[in-house]
Every structure is written in C-alpha cells, then in structure tokens.
Amino acid sequence: MLNEDLLAGDRRSGATHADDRQTFRVPPAPAVPPSEDAVTLLRDAILNKLAYALGRTPATARDRDWFAATALALRDRVVDACLASPAPAVPNKRVYYLSAEFLIGRLLSDMMGNLGLADTARAALAQLGVDLDAVAGAEPDAALGNGGLGRLAACFMESLASLAIPAYGYGIRYDHGLFRQLIEDGVQREVPETWLAEGNPWEFERPEAACSVGFGGEVAMTVQPDGSIRRVWRPAETVRAVPHDTTVLGWRAKHVNVLRLWQARAEEPVDLGRFNGGDHVGAVAERSRAEAISRVLYPSDSTPAGHELRLRQEFFFTSASLQDLVRRHVAERGDLRSLPDHAAIQLNDTHPAIAVPELMRLLVDEHGLSWEDAWHVTTHTLAYTNHTLLPEALETWPVELMERLLPRHMQIIYLINWMHLESLSKHGRVDAGSLAAVSLIDETHGKRVRMGHLAFLGARRVNGVSALHTELMRQTVFAPLHALDTDKIVNKTNGITFRRWLHNANPGLTRLAVEAVGARVLDDPGALDGLAAFAEDAGFQARYAAVRRGRKEALARVVKERTGIRLDPGALFDVQIKRIHEYKRQLLNILETVALYQAILAEPHRDWPARVKIFAGKAAPSYHQAKLIIRLASDVAKRVNADPAVAGRLTVAFVPNYSVSLAEAIIPAADLSEQISTAGLEASGTGNMKLALNGALTIGTLDGANIEIKEHVGDDNIFIFGLDAAGVQATKAEPGYAARAIAASPRLKAALDLIASGGFSPGEPDRFRPLLDEVTGPDRYLLTVDFDDYWRAQRAVDAAWRRPHGWWRAAILNTARTAWFSSDRTMREYAEDIWRVRVGPGA
Ligand SMILES: *Cc1c(COP(=O)(O)O)cnc(C)c1O
C-alpha cells in the first residue's frame, strides 16, 4: 500500500470528527513532479531487468516479476550510491551489530523512499500499465525475527545508514522466517513461511567470503618453541558459513551499509562414495545436518528453546561474524591489539553472547595474543544489550551440552569465571554466598552457563532499553554484578525509524506535517514539535482527522478481506497488536471487552461510543495459554459481532498473521494504542512508539517506554492506569490478591462468570478453564488487581472520544512530541556513549 491510494482515501473522506472551523491556511508545498527523463530512465532499467535478469516479457510478467525487476533496478541505484559515496573505504571505526533476528519486512518502499524515487517509480511503472501498489504488495516480508527485538535491529540498521555510521549487521539467513499464522475456528495453526521461494532480489551472495565454523571434537595441547602451551580446538565437524549481503541504504541515499546474513552449507555437498554405493539418501545426510542450522527461525520470543540446534545457530553466526571482522581488521590494520580502536561489537541480547569466549579463542589460540591482551581487547570491543528480566527468558545452557558442542569455549568460560571470582575474593569484595550470585555457572538447576552474566563480564558497556528497565536491571537480575562495577550499566531507550513508521507507512500524515512545518521535518524529526502550534486549529484538525479516516477505511477493507468482519471507520479503533504473551495482558483487554459487552446489554440506551477492538499477534507454537487467548478473542468476536443488541457499538476483530506489513496498515489507522503490560515486565516496547507517533492515544501502564512517552506527550494526552512496578512487587508479597480483587469487583466477576459458563464456547464451558484458573488463582500478571482501574481508564477514553476537538488536539500533540523516539536519537546515543564512533558527514 503506497502513497497515492491512501491520499485518494484522504480526498474521498473529507473532514470527519472535527468541528468545521477551517483555519489551517498554510499553502501546500508545491509538489515537484518527477522529471520525465528520470521516469524514462527508470522505466527502461526496469524493462531491462525484466528481460535480461528474469527472462520475462511485459505481456507475461506477474506482479511478482515486476517487483523483482523494480527491486533489481533500484538495487543498481543503491550500488551507484555506494560507489559515489564520499565515505572512506577504510573508515576509522566500524560498528558490528550481532543479532539472531532482523525483522525487516518489505524493503521496496524503504529503498524507494531513501533513494527519493517513490514518485518516479510509480510513474515509470504506470507508463508500463503497472500499478506500484500491486507490485509492492507482491514482495514477501522478510520475517527473520519474532517481534520487538528483531524489529529493533532492523530499525537500528536503517538509522545507522541514515546517520552515515559505518556498520555491518550480522545475522542468520533463515530459509524460513517466522511462521505464517492461520486462524481456523479461532485456533492458531502455523505453516512455514517461504520468503525465498522465488529468490531474493535484494541480496548478493558472497561465496568468496565464506568461512568454516566448527562443532564438537576435542582440545589438543601443543608445546610452542618457547616452551609455552598452546591449545588447539580440533572440531569433529565443520560447517560452511556463506554470507549473503543486503545493502542498507540511508535516508537520501547518503550512505550505504551492509546487512550480512550467514547461510549454513555442508563442506562437501555430497558423499560421493556413499552415493555411488547406492545410498542416495545417506550420501546427503551430512549436508542436511549442516544446512539445518539456517533452516528456520526459532518461533519463540521470550523463552529460550532448550534445543541443541538453537545453540548451534547462535555459535554459527557469532563465530562466522567474528572471523569475518577479525579477518577484515588484520587485512586493514595488521595488529589485533588495536581492534577496540576500530571496531565496536554490539550483542543484541544474549543470543550472540558466545562471542565472549569465541573472540578470546580467536585472539589467543588462533592469533597468539596473551590472555591478558586478549581479555583487554575483548572487554573493550564488546557491548551487550539486555532485553528482558523475565526469569524464564534469561538464557542459560547446560555445561554438559557446552562441553560436548563447544569444548574449548567451555574451558575459556571456566577460566574467565575463575579469574573473575579470584579477583573478587582477593579484593575482599565477596563472601561465599554472593560468589554464587556472580558466578558464570548457575549450580542451582544442574550446572548451567548464565549467558547474561557472560555477556556482562565480557562487555565494556551493558545497556537496558528504557529508563525503568535499566533501573530494574541494576536492582534485580544484575544487582550483584552491578555492585562490582557501577558504571557499566547504562540506559539507551529504544527507538523506531521514522522513514518506515511515518514517511512510508503514513504518507498522508507526512505530507500534512511537511505542509505545516516545512520539508525539514523529513530530515529532522525534532521539527515535528512545530505541529503543536496547530493542535487547537480546527482546519488542521480536520485535515489530520481526514488522513486518519482514509487509513481507517483502508484498514477496514483489509480486515473485511481477511476475516469477513465489517468495521465502521467512524468508530474508535482500539488496537492491541504485538506478540501474544501473558505479561502483555491481551487477556485483560478481552475481559474488559466482555465487561463492556455486558454493560451495553444492561444499559442499551446509554450513549456508548462506537468502538472497534482490533487484536493481532502470533503465539509461540508451544505456548498453550497464549494460543488459548487467541481462541478467546476469536470466540468473543464471534458472539459480539453477531449480537444485534450491540451492533454499531462494539465490534471485535482478531486479524491473522501479524507482520511488519500488517503493522504498517494498522498503525496509521489506530485511534487508541493498548500498552497494558504488568508494570516492570515490558522492557521497553516499540509498538507504543510507532502508534503514538502516528497519533494514537495510549492507554497504558507505567511500564517500559510508556513512562517516557507519558513524559513527552504530557499527562493530559495519555491514559495511565494500574499499579506501577513497585506496586506490583508489593502486591505480589501479599498472596490472595486475586480472590480479594474479584470479590471487590462485581463487573470483573460477571465477565469471568460469563466465560466460565460457556458464554463464548457454547457446549464447551471448560474451553477456557486454563485461562480462568490462572486469573482466579495465582494471577501472576495481576489482571484482577488492575481490572477496575483499567475499566475506569477506558471510560475516560469514551468521554474523551465524545469531544472531538480535545481528542484531535491530544492526537496531534502525540505526533508533535514523540520525535525523541526516533531510532536516530537512539543510535546517536549508542555512538557517543557505547561505541565511541563518529556520526558520519551530513548526519
Ligand atoms: C514493532 C513491532 C513489534 C513490537 O511490538 P511491541 O508492541 O513493542 O511488543 C512486534 N512485531 C512487529 C511486526 C512490529 O512491527
């Protein structure tokens, strides 16, 4: 979905939901039409690619072919931008961003936008009788991530390029990204995702830069001529890591970086002896085993999969990436002791934490540095970002598995641990009890390596992703380590790239912002604050509301197509879109929906504002409670949408297969953003930022970056409810809170009773028993305790929605005041405080 369609929507709808004083009189910036020459040039380039790269003619080309041809033509332009770049071939310092996930989404509008060729491409394709929106829609999402963590990595890559910070992203080129979600009778079914089925026009395969990654085997000792002992890892098995590079283009094509994703291949494609002996399957068994490493993304976003394959994936991409950057450094600078001056390696969560012993191994065993020099290099090059404090999500690996798969690394981890504990006890800084807390080995559940502790010790800086989360890191999981080095933990609140989440996802709003405050807003999101001056302006409000209305109509079409549910674009669109997880509390939202349904039935003559509840999100396949939450949302939708008594007042939709592309369709259409996690459990959130930027008002708890959003948009322009993190702790200290809260809330009790009596599962009252048992029993996520205040906040939303002037004022102020959540700001902070790398020219 791209510009003109949506702008057409804007024109169609006219002013809505704002009073009719028209005072906004800024003359529209003259639209500069693309030059005829540029259009012809791009058109011919696309035709060329279609013929010579794809072997197709315009007569037989499908949208997917036009997409590939357009992508290849644009990729040439990116290469041109690369070649024309003023940046030195050997920059003084590079950033290496290691992440097991990059949730990229589609790249076409990103590339067109940053090349400044969106209008040119539309015109060029139009000359060929082809619609750009259809072409863009034919691009598969690159879904190489589960949710927020992977999307953050993708936003960071775009911002690094836009800031002209020399950087490589390193990750895994999964054949199959996050599963495609089907909803059948309310039940989630996962089917494999196949983004590479028709090739990937954005990437360059680089077989010449491949390297080998070992597994298993043993550690041999050799005596050097000088009498010293050197340890040599002799892996039992090696796997080829083949890089595939995607160019990452910065805003206005000023700078190009590379996202290098590793594909696993067998060293030998086939065992010829076995094949010729007739064992055709056995002959490729080795190959299947090797290639399994980059086959699929683990569909778990907050619990470590306890699978050997997962550890193999982590080591595979970490080792290949470190080998790659070490090789580059040696070629460019010679001496590895200068690595910290020229490289900063960021570990996105603990998935690449094995980098600590792997870098030590490369430096000591392979390149002959002393242990002390190598430790200095390692701890001045690595930095680590923590993304969660949920105990079940803190990654640990059994020592036994590590010893078998990575024997040399286990030795190095033991040595690091020994030196760490020795130095503490020598300086009298710990007693026996606290030694256990700071040890790299957790002895309480069998021996396991604590990957967070390992990353912490190996890093020069460790960061949290919002102010609250960073503070909780210091107070809880990392408290004992923090006490030993109080400068190490720093905060870097997450951000989002405005090119994708404002310019490309919401061109109508972007155009309005440009008209109101000038084109510099495209380069400097800080200029958005100029919109505040128009917040009360009826004419501007009408324009702003019309943009929203156009997007709501467009979303209604998508929802109708995918679910058959008809949405009224005039209703309040209340959205909760994110992974399904108990701590994110979609269930709280559903309980409120049920209570609202009952309230409307009980008082049909009250002026309930029309509301549409939109849910989207995937559940990890083995996470039964999360899947049951999806089922409940779907079942509630079924009954509510069929009940004429609430028709026109309440509609519920669960939109299947949440993805970056779906997020781009929903976010500009949202009026209300649900950010209702149990306080203390959402590290930051970034969906909250995307929605606030696009002018949805937040209903949320004092959790993660919600707190900072509240500080920026102001208390009057956000709906806060519920316990804060300290309140959650205090409540949890007094068991029995759920029973007390339910007893005190007839409304909550009635909603629970309706579900328990089969109100949404006729003939099967026990369908939702596991959810109800959790909520009425331990209620670990404190739904019952927060329910009444959530209900109150939702009714405050109703009241605010009935006053359009105030509503749009608040919405405009959300857009005006969320510039700080640009990932450009986040990346500048990392550059200054963590990486100590210069932001490039023009940035
Ligand atoms: C932004 C985004 C997320 C993260 O959403 P949260 O609400 O912060 O959990 C997850 N998935 C997709 C596709 C996103 O675009």
**DSSP string over 301-335:** SSS----HHHHHHHHHHHHHHHHHHHHHHHHHHS-
Q: Are residues 489 and 543 in the same domain?
A: no
The pLDDT of residue 641 is: 98
The reply to whether 73 falls in a domain is yes
The reply to whether 757 falls in a domain is no
The pLDDT of residue 842 is: 44
Residue 578 Cα to ligand 1 midpoint, Å, equals: 5
The reply to whether 105 falls in a domain is yes
What pLDDT digit, counting tens, does each position of 306-336 carry? Answer: 899 999 999 999 999 999 999 999 999 999 9
The reply to whether 500 falls in a domain is no
Catalytic residue among 578, 618, 649, 710: 578
Residue 698: which CATH number? Answer: 3.40.50.2000
Reported pTM: 0.95
CB contact at 8 A, 574 and 613: yes
CB contact at 8 A, 18 and 808: yes
148 lines ligand 1 (CB under 6 A): yes
Q: What is the DSSP string of 625-662?
A: HHHHHHHHHHHHHHHHHH-GGGTTTEEEEE-SS--HHH
The reply to whether 766 falls in a domain is no
Catalytic residue among 173, 579, 611, 712: 579
Beta carbons within 8 Å of 60's beta carbon, 6+ residues apart: none
The pLDDT of residue 771 is: 98
Phi/psi for 478 (5° steps) reads -100, 10
Residue 82 Cα to ligand 1 midpoint, Å, equals: 31
Q: Are residues 418 and 528 in the same domain?
A: no
The pLDDT of residue 10 is: 33
The reply to whether 13 falls in a domain is no
Residue 686 known to be catalytic: yes
The pLDDT of residue 316 is: 98
The pLDDT of residue 24 is: 63
Beta carbons within 8 Å of 663's beta carbon, 6+ residues apart: 577, 687, 690
Helices (H), 222-370: 272-276, 285-291, 308-333, 339-342, 355-361
CB contact at 8 A, 361 and 412: yes
Q: Residue holding tokens 């008082």? A: 603
Q: Which one of 106, 178, 579 would you pick to mutate in the ligand 1 pocket, going by the greatest count of ligand atoms within 8 A of its CB?
A: 579
Q: Are residues 578 and 466 in the same domain?
A: no
CA distance 269 to 289: 11
The reply to whether 12 falls in a domain is no
Q: Are residues 406 and 516 in the same domain?
A: no
Task: Domain of residue 280: give its range.
Answer: 18-180+190-493+828-835
- Using alpha carbons, list the distances in angstroms from residue 336 to 96, 374, 610: 16, 9, 64
Q: Are residues 448 and 539 in the same domain?
A: no
The pLDDT of residue 841 is: 62
Strand, coil or helix: what is 162? helix
Residue 98 Cα to ligand 1 midpoint, Å, equals: 19
Q: Are residues 429 and 370 in the same domain?
A: yes
Q: Are residues 528 and 445 in the same domain?
A: no
Taken as a whole, the chain contains a residue count of 843
145 lines ligand 1 (CB under 6 A): no
Q: Are residues 541 and 407 in the same domain?
A: no
AA identity, residue 652: V
Q: Are residues 608 and 573 in the same domain?
A: yes
The pLDDT of residue 86 is: 78
The domain total for the chain is 2
CB contact at 8 A, 565 and 641: yes
Residues of the chain with pLDDT under 50: 1-22, 842-843
Residue 254 known to be catalytic: no
Residue 621 Cα to ligand 1 midpoint, Å, equals: 18
The pLDDT of residue 3 is: 33
Q: Are residues 474 and 529 in the same domain?
A: no
Beta carbons within 8 Å of 680's beta carbon, 6+ residues apart: 389, 468, 472, 703, 725, 728, 729
Q: Are residues 479 and 583 in the same domain?
A: no
Q: Are residues 32 and 69 in the same domain?
A: yes
The reply to whether 739 falls in a domain is no
